[in-house]
Structure 1
Amino acid sequence: MAAIDRCGGDQESESAHYYNRLNILGRDDAFVELVDNPAVLGKVSGFLGWNIWVNHTHYNVRPPDASEENYRYDWHVDGGVFSTDLQFQAPMTAIKVGFYLTDLREPQRGQTYILPRSHIGERSWRDEYKKFTPPPKDAVALKVKPGSAVLFQQRTLHSQGSPNLSGTIRKTIFVQWAYRWLYPVDAMTLGDLETRTQEPIRRQMLGLDRKRPDGILSSRYYPNPEDLPLKNRLIQEVGIQRMCELGPAATRHLTQFLDFKV
Structure 2
Amino acid sequence: MTTTPTESRVMTAEEREQFERDGFVIIRNVLTPDEVAHYAAAVDRVYAEHEALGKLGPDKSLHKLSAVASCPELAGLVDHPKAFPMVWSTMGWNVHVYHSHLDVHPPIHEPKPFRFEWHQDGGRQNREIETNPRPRLSVKLAFWLSDVSEPGRGNFKVVKGSHLTNRIDGPPRRDIEWPDPEHAMEVCANAGDAVFFDRRIWHARSNNYSDLTRKVVFVGYTYRWVAIRDEAVSPTVAAGLTPVQKQLVGALDEGRVHDPIEGGDHAWGHFEKEVPLYRDLHERGLLDSSFPYLIP
Q: Same fold (TM over 0.5)?
A: yes
For residues 134 and 62 of structure 2, what CA distance do their matches in structure 1 show?
Answer: 29
Q: CA deviation at 1:24?
A: 2.3
After superposition, the CA RMSD in angstroms is: 2.5
Moved more, 226-235 or 76-85: 226-235
Q: Is the 8 A contact 1:54 1:175 kept in 2?
A: yes
User: Of residues 233, 243, 259 in structure 2, which corresponds to 1:213?
Assistant: 259
Contact 1:108/1:164 (8 A) holds in 2: yes
The equivalent of 1:247 in structure 2 is 289
| Aligned position for 2:148 | 104
Q: Which residue of 1 aligns with 2:94?
A: 51
What is the one-letter code of the residue matched to 1:215? I
Amino acid at match of 1:227: E
Instruction: Give the secondary structure class of the aligned counterpart of 1:141.
Output: strand
- Write the distance in 1 (CA, Å) between the matches of 2:149 and 2:157: 13
> What is the CA deviation profile of residues 184-225 of structure 1, one whole-angstrom value per residue up to 9, with x for unaligned ones?
12323445223333x221221122233342222420014313
- Which residue does the alignment assign to 1:260? none
Q: Give aligned pairs, total.
A: 245
Give the 3-state SS of the residue equivalent to 2:88 in structure 1.
Answer: helix
8 Å CA contact 2:168–2:181 kept in 1: the answer is no
User: In the alignment, is residue 77 of structure 1 matched against residue 120 of structure 2?
Assistant: yes
TM-score, normalisation: structure 1:
0.83
Provide the identity percentage: 25
Q: Is contact 2:69-2:231 (8 Å) kept? A: no
CA displacement 1:165-201 (0-9 Å, x = unmatched): 111111111111111111112323445223333x221
User: Deviation at 1:73?
Assistant: 4.7
Alpha-carbon distance, 1:15 to partner: 5.2
Scaled by the length of structure 2, the TM-score of the pair is: 0.75
Separation (CA, whole Å) in 2 of partners of 1:56 and 1:115: 22
Q: Which residue of 2 aligns with 1:113?
A: 157
Per the alignment, do residues 163 and 15 of structure 1 end up closer, same or farther by CA in structure 2, a change over 3 Å counting? closer
Which structure is higher in RCO with an 8 Å CA cutoff and minimum separation 6? 1
Matching residue of 1:152: 197
Which residue does 1:95 correspond to in 2?
Answer: 139
The match for 2:67 among 17, 21, 24 is 24
Deviation readout 1:221-242 (Å, 9 max, x if unpaired): 1431333221222222228xxx
| Cα 1:57/1:191, change in 2 over 3 Å | farther
Which residue of structure 1 lines up, in the alignment, with residue 4 of structure 2? none
**How far apart, in 2, do the equivalents of 1:93 and 1:195 lie?**
29
Say if 1:149 and 1:129 are closer, same or farther in 2 by CA, change over 3 A.
farther
Deviation digits for residues 105-156 of structure 1 (CA, Å, limit 9, x no counterpart): 12221212111111101x2216469645442341110111111100111111
The answer to whether the 8 Å contact 2:62/2:104 transfers is yes
